[in-house]
Structure 1
């Protein structure tokens, strides 16, 4: 039950962050729409986010956390803290050097990750400038991710889950600054937003540093040394860099190809933001909590407990992710119209983003399942197997993006991203099963088909509701009509799904009530 409670804590705070992120993205869409300034800014923030996922969230949450959690369990918190400081100090030194080189070489970097921008000198230079401003975000967020791993291993999930809220608060404030200065849809607004990204990195690092100090884990850097423990983390991190950040790698590949298509970077960004809401609240929350939980149980030799944790995580993940995916696929136009279609974001942009959202949503269950399956390898210090599957996934994504984009444009890129996610998930799940490390228990086997049936029936209800409320989304209807219509659809979908889940036995009302109470 502690797994569900911890996941609810992370998921609840992530939900607050995602809601504020919605507000942030609405304001960005209102001010910048899908203009060249928007595309330059989206590329600028994508790059440091890639390396944050690869070097920090991917590598250290998957290599550092199991080692740290086992030290806490076996040697005590004092020894674990010394280990964390060693890794922290080395990571800080490496990040400073890497960031300095990257910022100097930024024109070359942008040419590689955004080759389509080269034809537009103004957009290319703006992307270079904004990425240089945003890049130190990598340094602060990588250290923040390490601090998050420390806190998560101590079962202190609140501060780490709350940190991303600061990013959205700072970016909303940046929009207010842009409004006060009346910079509008201009490069000046792009600079304001980029400095907002930088400031949010500093704020999140400070919050986690305070939380670590209060937990008795104050991480003050020492002179970096390549100790045997640090070497062990690096050895495990190298494959973890690829496997843990595979989704980010795929998104960057998508961005590279998208820069060669008019408006595609912005279209994919807005679609990505919408499907990241359920992924962050459900998939990422379960993944964050499951890894240290499995590590502790395996350290104690509790294989049965570890298997039960994985089954309950998979069950909960699918119960919440499947209806979210089907809802995004059933009513993408009403969602995008209501959330983004204001100011500089036009009706034509809505029609361009909607099919990309549908394509991304088809991969949502796969992205979520990956967060359930990967900890089964990482908790056993096996980072190589997920790495191999991640490489295969990236190859599928690159080939798929190139081929499908020739026929379907930016929508083909989104489809290839989802296809790659399913390939990665299937390989992970099948391998765990073949090794005898994961099997569906009786409860999970009984409930999964019922969850699928309830989610599909809910999708049919949403399609019928969208048809009945079609007039609410006419250009002449206005925002209030669209918002009222979407509220009805969402409320009807949620109520309908839980009623169907109860009726089919996928999840009883009493279980939902108990889960929400915890």
Structure 2
């Protein structure tokens, strides 16, 4: 399986979801604004998603994918891998349901403790969260079926599934555009409905791949015990990351009305390259690294990570710098209007400009962690995450009082780089992954090209200043000029400077042309 091709497939379909997500956020900002009802919904949406990253994308993927991959490529083949999946499902699903029921019971006190809300705002946040929380069960089961499909190198359905959530929420905004409590409730219902649609899609995709899981009685079989031994440290590690997310929510809800909304819209733009590049790379390389490690091919495993790091920096460096430089025009063009004022756009843009500086580090973490997970070492990332969590708490207390939401964004960016540095140092010392000369040389050339791009972006901003102060149409044209101008400078220059593997890209283009001609 080609890494660039796999990443392109996953990233391209993820981009479809992100575009739908942008349409959703653009409409939501105008319908809901930065109101307290919007803040209440974002709290309700953030809670199940935080636990989803704990149980689904974090611990489950780290434990399940390598073990499933080993069985799939072992003597037992697909039959043994399928049996293992059924054993895990039999224990995993009831655990999730029980966890969700417990939280439904304690929802009121939990939301009050986390948000600090009172009165009508607390009542609405609690009500909305009780509607959205079942999404946790649905999307965690989606992770199981996604893990199966990814191990079979079938990335399409899993990469497209998030688009269904965005389309469901977009439909709620279109059909219930009243704003306030009514629209917030419709959005909460759409979240859970989106989870149902995602699970149905993934189960159908597994059926097409010949994988139909049977429901079994929960039993602690040897395979389940092995899974638990791997997944518990990963849960603790992912738990540390999600505690950090809860801490961010804790501070955001206390900064003032609108802070949750400002952070959400800034993070939506920041998540575009994170989702398209970071999630795609992490998903694509974990099965490959696991396969090479299982076969004792340590150099091949390191080579896969090196190629992924090169591709990550090739795409993330320009994305991060472009978001930082162009945050004002981007937020204004996409979100300003209706109930979302110019001041709301300014504060969201400030948050984006700062938080995006941690983007390359965040994506590199997605490249580095498979080096631990593939070796069934989930304890080391736990220790790293715990240290970074403490640093994040300290930075929040130090930076938020003088700088508000900008201080919180700075703490996130700094901790992303700290996490990346620690993970790399550990892998380097163990001899599992080191930055080779070819990789360092290409990254330096990418930095030179990115610096030239930044100069071009500043020139475009100055030349089109009247556009960015005009109507929505003028602002959108200005953004198109920024994006197009930045790409027109960066990618040709990085090609000329040798900042990427030209032969790999040429072969990818040839494959795409052959596929197009055949169609």
The TM-score with structure 1 as length reference comes to 0.96
Structure 2 SS opposite 1:362? helix
User: Which residue number corresponds to residue 487 of structure 1?
Assistant: 480
Report deviation, 1:358: 1.1
* 1:194-233 superposed Cα distances (whole Å, 9 cap, x missing partner): 0000100000001001111121221232221122321222
Structure 1 SS opposite 2:255? coil
Is the CA contact (8 Å cut-off) linking 1:501 and 1:508 kept in structure 2?
A: no
User: Which residue number corresponds to residue 211 of structure 1?
Assistant: 205
User: Which residue number corresponds to residue 167 of structure 2?
Assistant: 169
**2:42 is equivalent to residue 42 of structure 1:** yes
User: Which residue number corresponds to residue 151 of structure 1?
Assistant: 149
* 1:227-280 superposed Cα distances (whole Å, 9 cap, x missing partner): 232122222112212434655443332111111111211111111111000010
- C-alpha change, 1:305 and 1:508, in structure 2 (3 Å) is closer
**2:88 is equivalent to residue 91 of structure 1:** no
Point out where structure 1 has 5 or more consecutive residues left out of the alignment.
none
User: Which residue number corresponds to residue 500 of structure 2?
Assistant: 507
Report deviation, 1:509: 6.5
Is the CA contact (8 Å cut-off) linking 2:31 and 2:179 kept in structure 1?
A: yes
Report deviation, 1:61: 0.7
Q: How many residue pairs were aligned?
A: 509
In structure 2, distance between residues paired with 1:35 and 1:107: 21
Out of 136, 139, 143, the residue aligned to residue 137 of structure 2 is 139
The TM-score with structure 2 as length reference comes to 0.96
User: Which residue number corresponds to residue 230 of structure 1?
Assistant: 224
Range that drifts further, 140-149 or 249-258: 249-258
Report deviation, 1:510: 6.4
* 1:287-319 superposed Cα distances (whole Å, 9 cap, x missing partner): 011101111111222222211111100000000
In structure 1, distance between residues paired with 2:434 and 2:239: 26
* 1:398-447 superposed Cα distances (whole Å, 9 cap, x missing partner): 11112211111011111111111111111100100000000223321221
User: Which residue number corresponds to residue 516 of structure 2?
Assistant: none
- C-alpha change, 1:105 and 1:212, in structure 2 (3 Å) is same
In structure 1, distance between residues paired with 2:243 and 2:449: 33
In structure 1, distance between residues paired with 2:506 and 2:346: 38
User: Which residue number corresponds to residue 160 of structure 1?
Assistant: 158
User: Which residue number corresponds to residue 125 of structure 2?
Assistant: 127
Is the CA contact (8 Å cut-off) linking 1:247 and 1:421 kept in structure 2?
A: no
**2:105 is equivalent to residue 113 of structure 1:** no
Range that drifts further, 234-243 or 283-292: 234-243
In structure 1, distance between residues paired with 2:367 and 2:99: 32
In structure 2, distance between residues paired with 1:219 and 1:340: 43
Point out where structure 2 has 5 or more consecutive residues left out of the alignment.
513-519
In structure 2, distance between residues paired with 1:507 and 1:424: 25
In structure 2, distance between residues paired with 1:248 and 1:447: 34
User: Which residue number corresponds to residue 515 of structure 2?
Assistant: none
Is the CA contact (8 Å cut-off) linking 2:38 and 2:180 kept in structure 1?
A: no
In structure 2, distance between residues paired with 1:239 and 1:508: 37
Supply the RMSD in Å over aligned alpha carbons.
1.4
In structure 1, distance between residues paired with 2:142 and 2:413: 29
User: Which residue number corresponds to residue 4 of structure 1?
Assistant: 4
Structure 2 SS opposite 1:213? helix
**2:396 is equivalent to residue 395 of structure 1:** no
**2:17 is equivalent to residue 17 of structure 1:** yes
In structure 2, distance between residues paired with 1:359 and 1:208: 36
Is the CA contact (8 Å cut-off) linking 2:234 and 2:382 kept in structure 1?
A: yes
Range that drifts further, 15-24 or 242-251: 242-251
Structure 2 SS opposite 1:272? helix
In structure 2, distance between residues paired with 1:275 and 1:514: 30
What does 1:245-324 align with in structure 2 at a 5 Å threshold? 248-262=242-256, 263-324=258-319
Structure 1 SS opposite 2:479? helix
* 1:437-479 superposed Cα distances (whole Å, 9 cap, x missing partner): 00223321221111111112211211121121111121xx111
Range that drifts further, 104-113 or 374-383: 104-113
TM superposition outliers: structure 1 runs of 4+ over 6 Å: none
In structure 2, distance between residues paired with 1:244 and 1:65: 16
Is the CA contact (8 Å cut-off) linking 1:133 and 1:194 kept in structure 2?
A: yes
Out of 413, 419, 437, the residue aligned to residue 418 of structure 1 is 413
Is the CA contact (8 Å cut-off) linking 1:134 and 1:197 kept in structure 2?
A: yes
Structure 2 SS opposite 1:38? helix
In structure 2, distance between residues paired with 1:105 and 1:508: 54
**2:48 is equivalent to residue 76 of structure 1:** no
In structure 1, distance between residues paired with 2:506 and 2:335: 33
Is the CA contact (8 Å cut-off) linking 2:168 and 2:194 kept in structure 1?
A: yes
In structure 2, distance between residues paired with 1:64 and 1:51: 17
**2:467 is equivalent to residue 469 of structure 1:** no
Report deviation, 1:151: 0.7
Is the CA contact (8 Å cut-off) linking 1:330 and 1:463 kept in structure 2?
A: yes
Report deviation, 1:185: 2.2
Is the CA contact (8 Å cut-off) linking 2:310 and 2:500 kept in structure 1?
A: no
- C-alpha change, 1:306 and 1:250, in structure 2 (3 Å) is same
In structure 1, distance between residues paired with 2:332 and 2:298: 48
In structure 2, distance between residues paired with 1:418 and 1:100: 35
Is the CA contact (8 Å cut-off) linking 1:397 and 1:420 kept in structure 2?
A: yes
Range that drifts further, 413-422 or 323-332: 413-422
Range that drifts further, 451-460 or 62-71: 451-460
- C-alpha change, 1:407 and 1:515, in structure 2 (3 Å) is farther
Structure 2 SS opposite 1:269? helix
Report deviation, 1:375: 0.1
In structure 2, distance between residues paired with 1:340 and 1:286: 29
In structure 2, distance between residues paired with 1:510 and 1:232: 42
Out of 365, 378, 383, the residue aligned to residue 383 of structure 1 is 378
